[in-house]
Amino acid sequence: MVPQVRPRDLEAWLAARSERGPLLLDVREPWELKLAHVAPRGLECISIPMATLPARLEELDKTRPLACLCHLGGRSMQVALYLQQQGFEDVANVAGGIHAWSLELDPDIPCY
């Protein structure tokens, strides 16, 4: 089962994993990144669109905690489940995606 972490709770989730260098994995398409993106301080972010993930899986460390992000949380949940099936040890889904991030944390991020 993949943990669901609301954007407002993500900082605590990340802090509990800080010694292992958590990563925010944005699985949205490039055109979506142009509309809205996040850059949380102190957190490494990487963008790998969902459709390209299987071909780029070797870019990710299976022992590193990953929080997956998309627009509303559906695609990132699918990716998180896929990553667990591939042997990733600590994966969470950002529930509500970047839309919830905008509503809960940063209203300057546009909703689309």
C-alpha closest to that of 56 among 73, 89, 72, 79: 79
Place of tokens 């010694």: 19
Report the range of poorest mean pLDDT among 16-25, 26-35, 101-110.
16-25
Q: Would the pLDDT of 20 be above 90?
A: no
Q: pTM value?
A: 0.93
Q: What is the mean pLDDT of residues 23-42?
A: 91
pLDDT at 81: 98
Torsions phi, psi for 75 (to 5 deg): -65, -40
111 is catalytic: no
Catalytic one of 45, 68, 70, 111: 70
- pLDDT digit string, tens, across residues 86-111: 999 999 999 999 999 999 999 999 99
Work out the angle at residue 40's Cα, subtended by the Cα atoms of residues 39 and 43, and round it to the nearest 5 degrees: 105
Counted residue by residue, the chain has a size of 112
pLDDT at 19: 83
Per-residue tokens: 77: 């949940």
pLDDT at 43: 78
What structural domains and CATH numbers belong to the chain? Answer: 4-104 (3.40.250.10)
